[in-house]
């Protein structure tokens, strides 16, 4: 019996006509075997395309260069839409579910955990506002203190709603606190925090330090995104042949740590342009590849739980990844902002006029071009130092993810 679903379950979801032609029956069974792999591939491709598109959006909006990248962003989003549409059509055609019983239109709405969702979103917004205000207004600001003080209160209310009040919570306690999944969810959070923040900081380094355009900086991210797809396919093939995933999962986490170390070293203005770009590109390719392997391994780790809970467990994992991505990017941006302010203050050395110029530099990279050559070089050095601190933060998140991943439990997969 497969750990991902019994044969009887597959027959129930995809019934076969008994009087069908043998050739058609064989073709139908072949499609059934290919369908899960195809759908997962479409999902991963859509995910990675959205990551690249998000990076282009960040580059274009944050740096005021939206007119430089619209056709690329449009093409990527169209590609994402096609993959999502293909997945929807395939599921709608092949999946056969029993018709639901007729009920009042308001009954399904009563089952949705609106209050829990609102409270969770409120926690995220408060955290991100606190981080943003703290990096810009100072961490001792009353607004920052008040924002962070409200976070544990709202978070406690969220847990009370999920554990006590919600009829069908979207983060059930028996799944979130399941010992078999707690390590996996922790890994989801910290790995996403480091990975998404890295995809945000590297284009910033390319533009602020290496003086690349937004389009060129974004295009250097594409090989890493493509390698994620390759890694996911490799991981799927390995798991299918070996029936195991734990050793590959742990090894990939270790490679993730080793791959970011050269990036920290290369993020220096003393390195040549060719050394920095080629070295970081190789590291990003390796990070993307093992990231794809870890996604495939993580999907298999859901075999630890009963089939009836797998859909909710998968949704919870996406929640943790989304939380990690949002907070990791916010914290990384705050680190860069804080460190850059210190660097620019040292450059200004009390000169009021220069402080105003450097404040404009912190708000827009275009202002760097207006500075004298020596001051311009000093500012770019400051950006390099600030991004290195952010890369150090991402290294810490990968280390935590590595130790959390050690707690992932393995079951043999008969697939």
Task: Per-residue pLDDT tens, the chain, 415 aa: give them.
Answer: 344 444 444 444 444 445 455 555 554 555 454 444 444 444 444 444 444 444 444 444 444 444 444 444 444 455 566 777 787 788 777 777 666 665 666 676 777 788 888 888 898 888 888 888 887 777 888 888 999 999 999 989 988 888 888 887 877 887 888 777 788 888 889 998 998 889 888 988 888 888 888 788 888 888 888 888 888 888 888 887 877 788 888 898 999 999 999 999 988 877 888 888 999 999 999 998 988 888 777 776 676 677 777 778 877 888 888 888 888 888 888 888 888 888 777 777 766 666 676 677 766 777 777 778 888 888 888 888 889 999 999 999 999 999 988 877 766 665 5
Query: What pLDDT was estimated at residue 272?
Result: 83
Secondary structure class of 1 (helix, strand, coil): coil
Angular region, 89: left φ>0, alpha ψ -120 to 50, beta rest:
alpha
- Note the Cα 155 to chain centre separation in Å: 22
pLDDT value at residue 221:
84
Q: What pLDDT score does 102 carry?
A: 59
Identify the burial level of 117 via C-beta atoms within 10 angstroms of its C-beta, where 0-12 means exposed, 13-18 middle and 19 or more buried.
middle
Which option is the CATH number for 7-100+168-405: 3.40.50.1980, 3.30.1330.10, 1.20.1250.20, 3.30.43.10?
Answer: 1.20.1250.20
Output the pLDDT for position 352. Answer: 66
Q: Please state, in angstroms and rounded to a whole number, the distance separating the CA atoms of residues 236 and 74.
A: 30
At residue 65, the pLDDT reads 40
Q: Are 303 and 411 in contact (CB under 8 A)?
A: yes
Nearest to 399, CA basis, from 259, 300, 288: 259
305 Rama sector, left if φ>0, alpha if ψ -120 to 50, beta otherwise: beta
Contact 52, 76 (CB under 8 A): yes
N-terminal to C-terminal alpha carbon distance within the chain: 8
The whole-number pLDDT of residue 291 equals 86
CA atoms within 13 A on the CB side of 311: 2
Structure tokens that stand for 73 in this block: 């962003």
Query: What local confidence, expressed as pLDDT, does residue 319 receive?
Result: 83
* The predicted structure's pLDDT at residue 133: 83
> Strand, helix or coil at 173?
helix
In whole angstroms, what is the distance from residue 215 CA to residue 70 CA? 10
């Amino acid at each position: 019996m497969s750990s991902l679903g019994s044969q009887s379950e597959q027959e129930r979801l995809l019934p076969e006509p008994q009087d069908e032609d043998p050739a058609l029956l064989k073709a139908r069974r072949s499609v059934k075997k290919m369908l899960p792999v195809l759908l997962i591939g479409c999902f991963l491709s859509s995910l990675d395309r959205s990551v690249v598109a998000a990076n282009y959006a960040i580059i274009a909006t944050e740096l005021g260069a939206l007119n430089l990248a619209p056709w690329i962003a449009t093409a990527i989003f169209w590609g994402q839409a096609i993959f999502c549409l293909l997945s929807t059509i395939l599921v709608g055609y092949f999946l056969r579910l029993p018709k639901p019983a007729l009920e009042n239109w308001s009954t399904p709405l009563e089952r949705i955990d609106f209050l829990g969702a609102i409270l969770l979103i409120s926690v995220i917004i408060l955290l991100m506002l606190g981080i943003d205000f703290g990096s810009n207004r100072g961490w001792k600001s009353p607004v920052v203190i008040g924002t962070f003080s409200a976070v544990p209160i709202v978070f406690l209310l969220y847990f009370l709603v999920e554990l006590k009040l919600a009829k069908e919570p979207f983060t059930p306690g028996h799944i979130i606190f399941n010992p078999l999944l707690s390590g996996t969810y922790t890994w989801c959070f910290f790995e996403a925090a480091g990975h998404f923040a890295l995809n945000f900081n590297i284009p910033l380094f390319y533009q602020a330090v290496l003086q690349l355009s937004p389009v060129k900086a974004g295009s250097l991210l594409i090989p890493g995104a493509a390698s994620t797809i390759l890694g996911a396919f490799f991981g799927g093939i390995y798991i299918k042949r070996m029936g195991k995933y734990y050793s590959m999962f742990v090894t990939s986490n270790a490679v993730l740590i080793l791959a970011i170390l050269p990036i920290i070293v290369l993020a220096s203005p003393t390195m040549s342009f060719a050394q920095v770009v080629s070295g970081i590109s190789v590291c990003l390719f390796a990070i993307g590849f093992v990231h794809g392997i870890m996604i495939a391994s993580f999907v298999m780790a859901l075999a630890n739980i009963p089939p009836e809970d797998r859909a909710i467990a998968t949704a919870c994992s996406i929640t943790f990844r989304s939380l990690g991505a949002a907070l990791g990017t916010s914290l990384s941006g705050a680190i860069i902002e804080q460190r850059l302010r210190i660097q620019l203050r040292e450059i200004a050395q009390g000169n009021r006029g220069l402080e105003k110029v450097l404040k404009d530099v912190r708000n827009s990279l275009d202002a760097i071009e207006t500075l004298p050559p020596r001051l311009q070089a000093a500012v770019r050095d400051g950006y390099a130092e600030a991004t290195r601190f952010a890369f150090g933060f991402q290294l810490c998140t990968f280390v935590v993810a590595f130790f959390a991943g050690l707690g992932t439990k393995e079951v043999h997969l008969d697939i």
